[in-house]
Structure 1
Amino acid sequence: FNPSPGHRVSVCVFLMAVGQNSPLFLGFDFSTQQLKVVTIDEDLNLVHQDRVHFDSELPEFRTNGGVHLHADRLTVTSPVLMWVKALDLLLDKMKRAEFNFSQVSALSGSGQQHGSVYWRRGASATLDQLDPNQNLHNLLQDSFSVADSPVWMDSSSSRQCAALQAAVGGARLLAEISGSRAYERFTGNQIAKLQQSFPDQYQDTERISLVSSFAASLFLGGYAAIDYSDGSGMNLLDIRTRTWSKVLLEATAPHLEQLLGAPVPSTSVLGLVSSYFVQRYGFSESCRVVAFTGDNPASLAGMKLQEGNITVSLGTSDTVFLWLQQPRPALEGHVFCNPIDPEDYMALLCFKNGSLTRERVRDKCAGGSWEVFSAALRDTPLGNKGNIGFYFDTMEITPPVMGVHRFDSDDTEVSWFSPEVEVRAVVEGQFLSRRVHAERLGYSVVPGTRVLATGGASSNREILQVLSDTFNAPVYTIDLSDSACLGSAYRALHGSVAEFGVSFSDMLKKAPEPQLVANPHPAAQEVYDPMVKRYSRLEDTVLQKSRTQTTP
């Protein structure tokens, strides 16, 4: 990175303070199925990585995919002590590999978003007096009032979601305050369900953490604050004032503000690592703990996303990440506080019908061949002669519709397209949808805008060319393996030097650059700007038709 001249000496002195060896920075990710760690040095080189897989390495917790699926098939939880024991195993693995913990200058991490942890009364005293001769999971086995934590896969809080929206005046008003309408997996609704269903356990709770702040608490030896970005995924934080919304807290559960603690900027240094880790593993006493955040915000940091850019992950589901200055929360998608710039925002959109839908059309219209599929994209014109398709093989999230709908250039719904037209229609339709909903959340193409593409389909240049044309922006590819871990390591480094005036983007100048793979066609804007408006209008038609068909 390249700090300003006035700060270079100070930064160098700080980075050398831990000793003669190059300082290291750890990034952890407490994900659904495993705990991972990535280590980088001050030049952003990858030094070490490791992981613990929950199902295979911790079979005593009897998880499947890292979770417990309950009999109602709506309730999904994970054992808190499994996460604690996984950290024991991971650090022991690193110790056996002769990893030098004394070189670690700072650490940060991420956790699966929307999971929550309930600390039992007296747990803070336990955290403050950890015996370095014992494992964490033994020391903390009686520290949680809820043994199994609700996680993001849980969808059992529909009644609480309806109540929260009613209390604030509707889904749209809730989205304006918290960045999202009520979602069953969001932490506020899970807290409300727990308080109503198990009041004694709620009464016995001293502190409520997210998975991210829970993990940070382990390293601090005390309760870590929830950061703004992960806090945005709770239906409780006012994303504009970056404080807990009193009306939302009161509609959720009693005494909740005290149980959550005050939220903090995602760039905050929370303190120094606990003496437990200094004595047990040899961490430096000066090792800093930078606020942990959610896995999605951490991925944004790992992707080096900047203002005006958009990331499109083309996988089984397609996911869109946006950097926003001014949010426009909608009934679909999520707006979070930005984990890198405390004044900005990020948005996330998820679409279920991604690669599997593209593959079905490939099998039907291109004989199962990607080469034939790609040729069809090359041989058909931009805009597909006005033909637009909606391909929702499974119930979509955004919008909540299922089925295939095809429209000709006169907006008349038709029953079929030719194979070549169908191939372009599915790809254009998906990318028009991504752009429409991104713009509804506040995205717009500005000078310097880049689309960063990742995921399996990002290896197909013809698909990326359609993406470039649809968004009228150049497309770059980027390898996002362990992006949440890498983003956490980047954030640990940034937390160590931010006080010297080093921006996150300056710090990342040595990181590998994404590779340019497609530029928009000169006629792209002329073709797709009006198509975006048509798609939006036709989507409303499809949505209304779907509602009419499902109304008794």
Structure 2
Amino acid sequence: MAAPAAALPPLYLGFDFSTQQLKVLAIDGNLNVLHQDNVQFDTELPEFRTQGGVHIHSDGLTVTSPVLMWVKALDLLLDKMKRTGFDFSRVRALSGSGQQHGSVFWRRGASETLKQLDSAEDLFQQLQDAFSVSDSPVWMDSSSRKQCQDLQAAAGGALRLAEITGSRAYERFTGNQIAKLWQSRPEQYQDTERISLVSSFAASLFLGSYAAIDFSDGSGMNLLDIRTRTWSQTCLEATAPDLDGLLGTPLPSASVLGPVSSYLVHRFGFSESCRVVAFTGDNPASLAGMRLQQGDIAVSLGTSDTVFLWIQQPRPALEGHVFCNPVEQRAYMALLCFKNGSLTRERVRNQCAGASWELFSGALRNSPLGNNGNIGFYFDTMEITPAALGVHRFDRDDNKVSSLSPEAEVRALVEGQFLSRRLHAERLGYSIIPGTRVLATGGASSNRDILQVLSDVFNAPVYSIDLSNSTCLGSAFRALHGLAEQSGLSFFDVVKNVPEPQLVATPHPTAAQVYGHMLKRYARLEERVLQETCP
């Protein structure tokens, strides 16, 4: 006979409203994953006619997603869980994440609709008229260039805006999307009662009332002052009228927002005591899922290379993004994206190592740290960080050369990529401290010789970590942390029993000396490359 629900251990749910799907994961108090499910937007909700979860408009710049698709996906997901016998009464807390930079515009009167939901009907039917904008701008949109220029001018320049909000103006960032709506469709803006991020919109569906934007996702809007953690009046006034009232007051990322709605209690059997912890962006949730700590850096080695940083004293710059940290209120996280990642590594492998990773690895093992002074910049496509293009090679005397030996080329590529990751991380305020770990993930993290170079360049041990479900897992961890914080427990108290990542490389004894000197040269040569390619 099954044990009564009260006798069964409590569960914690993490949701992820990502670009292409909605996912959920359930953990118990010992952090074991007990349930996973998902809804794929394109295939399971074909009536919305999305490709990759989005609509790309005829101008090629405007990219949106139907907000009611996300609502219907939640109906579908919760129904799936119910059909499999998932016991919602065991859930003590839930949290979640949303694709960063997406925005949702609630129509006047929607708050009343949320409060009066009928548990006999699904959300999709009841929220048909709840949104003043039916297709939400998402992170792939790049149609707000004019608004970005206006915001930077109002703030006193791109760098000043970065110092306030953590990033220069980006077309996908929510503030610039709001400004575009106000300027191009003022009647829809005036019909708006509340503006949410995808994350706070999703939390609102669970609360049955408008959920606050959390500090971490809020710092990806070009509107939040990342030091005071309040809306920047300068940015608000440059964006649209009466905006602070439409956004609501931002809250710490571990905030318990309240109990789940009576709608969820009656329709799915949630406990009335189940709490909703603030939702955040997908990148901050991923940092929580990886359990990054002070001094850590995570390097995702994929088609693009992405660097996640935990930093204490941020130095926002014209490149990269600084966000409020989702698990430690006084700290920050930063993100850097590098377009030339695995595809560039594969091209050099094909040209210099006979298309063989084994030969590529052998070239790394057989060449010295520092590559006899040879340094390379490999930007097959226009790079994001820095904005440069082309292949540029230098010998030990900083003379430009047209080619290197195959072995030296392989090492110049890998060292150059990791010197770049370290240089730009340090420019945002990252510093290597005792106990620093490099957490490596993505396709190239399976190559131990590449990871050895990573360890040497950063002069820190490298650990292998699986990021495949880090956003959902991070959201579930944060649900547990939201409750535990009320008892004085930190995020790391809560997740201390998660298995540690696997140590795969430690730095060579001479690495600090070799790469400390080389990093300064690399910075100097990067300036030269930028001047040559972008005079």
Q: Which residue of 2 aligns with 1:157?
A: 144
Tell me how far 1:18 sits from its aligned partner.
Answer: 7.8
For 1:162-181, list aligned pairs within 5 A. 162-181=149-168
Q: Residues 111-122 of structure 1 correspond to what in structure 2 (within 5 A)?
A: 111-122=98-109
2:323 to 306, 311, 336: 336
Task: Give 2:44's match in structure 1, choosing from 33, 57, 78.
Answer: 57
2:135 counterpart of 1:148: yes
Paired residues, what number? 532
Q: Whole-Å Cα distance in 2 between the matches of residues 129 and 46 of structure 1?
A: 34
Choose which of 515, 518, 534 in structure 2 pairs with 1:528.
515
The CA deviation at 1:453 is 0.4
Residues 455-479 of structure 1: CA deviation (Å, up to 9, x unaligned): 0100000000000000000000011
Does the alignment pair 1:481 with 2:468? yes
Match of 1:392 among 379, 382, 386: 379
Is it true that 1:82 corresponds to 2:84 in the alignment?
A: no
Distance apart, 1:510 and its partner CA: 1.1
Match of 1:4? none
The equivalent of 2:311 in structure 1 is 324
Superposition map of 1:460-499 within 5 A: 460-499=447-486
The aligned counterpart of 1:133 is 120
Q: Structure 1: which amino acid aligns with 2:271? A: S
Matched, 1:96 2:76: no
Q: 2:333 matched to 1:346? A: yes
Q: Separation in 2 of the partners of 1:292 and 1:285?
A: 19
Residue in structure 2 matched with residue 11 of structure 1 by the alignment:
none
Q: Please give the secondary structure, in 2, of the residue aligned with 1:184.
A: coil
- Among 22, 25, 43, the residue aligned to 1:38: 25
Quick check: 1:459 aligned with 2:446?
yes
The match for 1:191 among 174, 178, 190 is 178
| 2:408 alignment partner AA | V
Q: 1:446 to 1:392 in 2, by over 3 A?
A: same
| Partner residue in 2 for 1:10 | none
Shift of 1:19: 2.0
2:230 and 2:445 mapped to 1: Cα distance?
A: 38
Q: Unaligned regions of 5+ residues in structure 2, if any? A: none
| CA deviation map 1:255-303 (0-9, x unaligned) | 0000000000001000000000000000000000000000000000000
Partner of 1:298: 285
Tell me, yes or no, if the aligned pair for 1:192 and 1:253 is still in contact at 8 Å.
yes
Give 2:432's match in structure 1, choosing from 445, 455, 473. 445
Secondary structure, counterpart of 1:144 in structure 2: coil
Q: Deviations over 1:208-237 (max 9, x none)?
A: 000000000000000000000000000000
1:432 aligns with 2:401: no
Question: Match of 1:182, as an amino acid?
Answer: A
Bigger Cα displacement from structure 2, 400-409 vs 224-233: 400-409
Q: Distance in 1 between matches of 2:87 and 2:5?
A: 12
Q: Distance in 2 between matches of 1:547 and 1:356?
A: 24
Pick from 108, 111, 117 the counterpart of residue 95 of structure 2: 108
Distance 2:524 2:168 in 1: 22
TM-score (norm 2): 0.99
- Residue aligning to 2:254: 267
What corresponds to 2:221 in structure 1?
234
Report if aligned partners of 1:18, 1:284 keep a CA contact under 8 Å in 2.
no
C-alpha distance after superposition, 1:489-513 (max 9, x if no partner): 0000111111111111111111111
Unaligned runs of 5+ in 1: 1-16
Secondary structure at 2:318's aligned position in 1?
coil
8 A Cα contact 1:18 1:286, kept in partner? no
Aligned equivalent of 2:365, options 378, 386, 410: 378
Query: How many angstroms apart in 2 are the aligned matches of 1:449 and 1:531?
Result: 20
Q: Does residue 189 of structure 2 align to residue 202 of structure 1?
A: yes
8 Å CA contact 1:452–1:475 kept in 2: the answer is: yes
Q: Matches of 1:18 and 1:518 in 2, distance apart?
A: 46
2:36 is paired with a residue whose SS is: strand
**SS of 2:9 mapped into structure 1:** coil
Percent of counterpart pairs with the same letter? 77
Q: Paired residue for 1:254?
A: 241
**Is the 8 Å Cα contact of residues 328 and 440 (structure 1) preserved in structure 2?**
yes
Distance 2:484 2:429 in 1: 31
Matched residues in 2 for 1:95 and 1:471: separation? 48
Partner of 1:403: 390
Post-superposition offset of 1:482:
1.1
Q: Counterpart amino acid of 2:414?
A: V
**Of 196, 200, 207, the match for 1:220:** 207
Q: Deviations over 1:392-415 (max 9, x none)?
A: 111111011111111111111111
Counterpart in the other structure of 2:269: 282
Say whether 1:419 aligns with 2:419.
no
Equivalent residue letter for 1:86 = A
Match of 1:27 in 2: 14
Equivalent-residue separation in structure 1 for 2:220 and 2:531 (angstroms): 29
SS of match in other structure, 2:39: strand
User: Could you tell me which amino acid in structure 1 is paired with residue 500 of structure 2?
Assistant: E
CA contact (8 A) 1:164 1:182 kept: yes
Looking at structure 1, the residues matched to 270 and 499 of structure 2 have their Cα atoms a distance apart, in angstroms, of 29
CA distance in 1, matches of 2:105, 2:143: 18
Which whole-Å CA distance do the structure 2 matches of 1:504 and 1:207 have between them?
31
4+ long deviations beyond 3 Å: none
CA distance in 1, matches of 2:19, 2:399: 45
SS in 1 for 2:6: coil
Task: Supply the distance in 2 between the matched residues of 1:162 and 1:23 (Cα, whole angstroms).
Answer: 50
Deviation at 1:121, TM superposition (A): 0.3
Name the CA distance, whole Å, in 1 between partners of 2:518 and 2:116. Answer: 63
Distance 2:170 2:397 in 1: 37
**CA distance, structure 2, for counterparts of residue 509 and residue 200 of structure 1:** 51
Partner of 1:519: 506
Name the TM-score, length of structure 1 as normaliser: 0.96
Provide Cα deviations, 1:296-337, integer angstroms capped at 9, x if missing partner.
000000001000110000001000001011100000000000
Give how far 1:547 is off: 1.2
Whether the aligned pair in 2 keeps the contact of 1:432 and 1:535 (CA below 8 Å) is yes
SS in 2 for 1:510: coil
